[in-house]
Structure 1
């Protein structure tokens, strides 16, 4: 018997807690995000130096952030100890420049997606928690778009003042000032807007509006910071990277394990390399899960049902909705 796939409007009133966004959400905004991996993009360009390619093989990873951080730290140590080693710095520059070019190749500019931000804003503001697995700037641009909307709703990523993450992030759920409601946003795998400096301090890059992407790439070129995001890797590699970051490990330990009754999953393929996220949500009280389905894919419904029940419990109610239905993500309400 086929799975029933409903319009989002039939489920919306029952789901206002947590939403988890996967890469399919970004692909719906721009097809440029439909790439296999950043490293694959670079390999196609054949622009990565031999030393840099060997580093990926030696550490058995496709995670650009990890390799960039390793050679950046090694280069900084050599510089501080006045060790002449141009080869390490050249490897760092090669990895960094290839990462910058890969991001430029796959990431759209603000003006290319700005027309979709109002729909996404209206969709996301119904949730009290957004968990985005994507390191791109879509959700961040939605947040900055909301700064100009006089609806007394506030998106908060819990990075305060000088861009430092609030350890007591839970207090930010309470409205303050003229707010009537709020949504907290988290990035379990990091984001382009996040970085760390030479002494492993983590912060957010603050530039509002259309110039953010280029400002981020400029910060990378400065050699003062490296990006904080987990781009690729196996389940074990991702968990190791998460544990090496204060922000990522806080999201993993505290945010994912928060009590919640409902969960919406949109654009997430539920691959084995990300199943640790569902495992962390086990025991949080989830009673019902709504899952988006692209092109009414029944095989995906079957796989999603099995993974959710295996990790969240056999009694969890699972419902499916059409990812392209009116009001869902970037689809206008009037789109019939």
Structure 2
């Protein structure tokens, strides 16, 4: 018996709590996000040298951010102790330059996707919380667009200035000229987040048009390293999450705060991301809706079995057409 895949409009009135976004959401905006991995992109484009590849092999990871942070910390220790170690410094610069080149090659500029932002902001407005697993700037740009509309709805990322306020639930209350709001979180980090030399976590701010370049320039100057988990196994990603106060707070608290309904859009729920669904299973979810591209019955069968295995409480599962009207970029 095949699973029924409905138009979004048929079930949308039952889902308004949390929206979980995977890489398919970014691919729907720009096809350049259809890459295997940042590391593989760098290899395919001849950006790696032998030393950089040795670092990835030694630490048994594909995560650019982790390798960059490890080598960056090593260079800072060498400078503090006045140790002359040009090879470590060169390796740091090469890993950094590889990451910058990969992001520049893959990530579209604001102007290339600005026509999609109104539809995305309209769709996100229908949820109390938006949780994006993507490191790119699409959701952030849509937030900025939505906040400029002055339509009595506000998107908030729970940062005050450049610092995260861990009393994040208080931002869910509408106040002032706003009747409603949506809170936005990134459990795997984002390009807008960075660490300084003392491991302080910051949000990088700039105008929407120049934000991508502002982020990359801060990396180039060496004052910050990025805070996002780009690749790796489930266990490696969990370790990276635990190393960050922001990521760990989102993982422990936000993912377990879902009330009643969860919408999953553009997420393949691969083995490397099972920690996310395992965490959501500890919440009060009673209904989950998964987006489906085409008539992928194999995906429907796999995720419905996954819900039965992971969720202890009864949970109703729905499937909807990712390309139906009023959904994401079709809003």
State the TM-score bracket (shorter-chain normalisation): over 0.9
Contact 2:158 2:164 in 1 (8 A): yes
SS at match of 1:87: helix
- Match in the other structure for 1:214: 213
Q: CA deviation at 1:155?
A: 0.4
CA RMSD of aligned residues (A): 0.9
Q: CA deviation at 1:283?
A: 3.2
SS at match of 2:195: strand
- Match in the other structure for 2:70: 70
Residues 1:327 and 2:326 are matched in the alignment: yes
Q: CA deviation at 1:310?
A: 1.1
In structure 1, distance between residues paired with 2:95 and 2:155: 34
- Match in the other structure for 2:302: 303
In structure 2, distance between residues paired with 1:60 and 1:283: 30
How many residue pairs match? The answer is 331
In structure 1, distance between residues paired with 2:316 and 2:109: 39
In structure 1, distance between residues paired with 2:38 and 2:100: 10
- Match in the other structure for 2:201: 202
- Match in the other structure for 1:30: 30
1:31-70 correspondence to structure 2 within 5 Å = 31-70=31-70
Q: Return 5+ residue gaps in structure 1 as ranges.
A: none
Q: Return 5+ residue gaps in structure 2 as ranges.
A: none
- Match in the other structure for 1:283: 282
Residues 1:261 and 2:227 are matched in the alignment: no
SS at match of 2:208: coil
Contact 1:196 1:226 in 2 (8 A): yes
- Match in the other structure for 2:176: 177
In structure 2, distance between residues paired with 1:113 and 1:259: 30
In structure 2, distance between residues paired with 1:308 and 1:117: 31
In structure 2, distance between residues paired with 1:314 and 1:17: 18
Q: CA deviation at 1:74?
A: 0.3
| Residues 50-78 of structure 1: per-residue CA shift (max 9 Å, x gap) | 11110000000000000000000000110
Contact 1:278 1:312 in 2 (8 A): no
Residues 1:95 and 2:91 are matched in the alignment: no
Q: CA deviation at 1:314?
A: 6.6
| Residues 310-332 of structure 1: per-residue CA shift (max 9 Å, x gap) | 11247211010000000110014
TM-score, length-scaled by structure 2? 0.98
In structure 2, distance between residues paired with 1:259 and 1:216: 31
SS at match of 1:287: strand
TM-score, length-scaled by structure 1? 0.97
- Match in the other structure for 1:147: 147
In structure 2, distance between residues paired with 1:322 and 1:216: 35
* Structure 1 residue runs of 4 or more that deviate by more than 4 Å after TM superposition: none
SS at match of 1:5: coil
Q: CA deviation at 1:153?
A: 0.5
Contact 1:153 1:182 in 2 (8 A): yes
In structure 2, distance between residues paired with 1:227 and 1:81: 24
- Match in the other structure for 2:132: 132
SS at match of 1:99: helix
Contact 2:158 2:165 in 1 (8 A): yes
Q: CA deviation at 1:176?
A: 2.0
